[in-house]
Structure 1
Amino acid sequence: MTDWAAFTGFTGLVLVVLLSFAYVSRGVPHGDGASVSFDDNPDRETSLDGSRNDVELDGDELVSAATTENVVDGVSSTPIVPTPDSAAVSSDLPTHLLIANVAVSQALLGAFLALGAWYAEIPSAALGISAGDVPTKLGVGLALGLGLYAANRVGSSLSRQFGFTPDEALRESLTPESRAGWVLLLFVALPLIAGFEELLFRGALVGAVAVGFDVSPWLMAAVSSAAFGAGHSAQGRLGIVVTGLLGFVLAAAFVLTQSLLVVVVAHYLVNALEFVGNELFGW
């Protein structure tokens, strides 16, 4: 017999852990100046690797630096990847180990959520999982991913025209420095991220809750999208809003297609194109 309450408990626990990672990882620098500093000296700069460099600022230089630090991004061009956990942020991990850290954390959380679905005997259809019409679902996912990526690029370009610099700290921290790193990112980390996040935010929070408790899937799409944005706090305040909106588009696609595969493919494609486009074309 399906135990919807038990699975909701599993889902809530995973969500709390993920949001806790986001909260404790706010020390990642980002363009809206929302990063957390534990240094009492305001005239010190923090780099991505956690090191600090003393700087002397006065007069016009101080004003210029303050202006630069408080620029916010109108549209985030950072991939929709989760915030690395505190261990990844606070240590001097090489890029490939940082990617591996993110991949392992997503795999463990995803496995725990899948265990919850098995224990509670959740029907696969409630999570949007089915083996039917796979080619069509892949095609819809590809089209959706390309459309979201194109919209994100247009929005990012427009924001630059108005002087808003997109926050790229998270993408830069995860951009590989070797061929092996790219293989790890594109074929291990990003698929795990897309699969886990879509299972959690769309399959569990939208599909399972709507079916199990007779709640409007559109209401849950809004709730899950707010949580999705909050789980990406390393992208800055406006980045959270934009990521939440993107999450709602994915949730809407899930509600309309009833397919987890569609949104997993679209999510993966947005992330992969952000990294590859920036590396090859500087987008």
Structure 2
Amino acid sequence: MSGPALPSLRETIARHGLDARKALGQHFLLDEALCRRIAALAGDLAGRQVLEVGPGPGGLTRALLAAPAAMVTAVELDRRAVAALAELEAAHPGRLRVIEADALTVDPAALLPAPRKIVANLPYNVATPLLVGWLRGAAAIEGMTLMFQQEVAERICAAPGTGAYGRLAVLAQWRCRCDLLLRLPPGAFSPAPKVWSAVVGFRPHPEDPGEALFRTLERLTAAAFGQRRKMLRGALKPLGEAEALLDAAGIAGDRRAETLTVSEFDRLARLLQSRA
């Protein structure tokens, strides 16, 4: 249940001097219809605790509050935006919590009770490290609906053997089903970025392999894709006994990282961990 009428998003920006700052990777989504569509892509929010990162003036926040989420927790680093969101917080008592913090330091499982979802238009400059951190703890998250630069979204969803396939695709697809759900042109944002953006849906796989194995996969993919032109027998040398590791996994040493499937990386990671 909402309170009195709120100012428009553009009025909110003007009143709080909330001009988008490049240093913070800010591009505000002010189209309310698009915000509602993104909130809908997150699926059923009834009874869910929703984490939003980088809400800015609160366009997506308003759409999430219009959905039946139990609570929306918005983490914002920009003090101007925190002040702008105070009006929205007052209009939705008990359903919106605004926290001034660096999202990279926030643990969703510690911050929110279950069931949890993350829905966010991520700041461009921290989108990838935020995603990797959330993937490590994906067992505690029911689902994520996240907006990235389109190039990053395509890398997340890329298939083996394609130019976009790399470390990010392996880490994301190893932990989640990843679907590119929506593409948005630069003109949808204020200010307009130079590139298109895209929304990716993440649904964690039922099996929880554990954070230790995830970190092993991080090491493995860092080595494998660190020098993409190298054959695996050379690329994996820093991990020790590369030839023996590949032989045990049944993977030819003359293959390159971009040809391996996620399941082959999984096999290598489990063997590598067992030898630690």
TM tier relative to shorter chain: under 0.3
Q: TM-score normalized by structure 1?
A: 0.22
User: Which structure has greater helix proportion?
Assistant: 1
Give the number of the structure whose alpha-carbon radius of gyration is greater: 2
Larger relative contact order (CA 8 Å, sep ≥ 6): 1
User: Which structure has greater strand proportion?
Assistant: 2
Q: TM-score normalized by structure 2?
A: 0.22
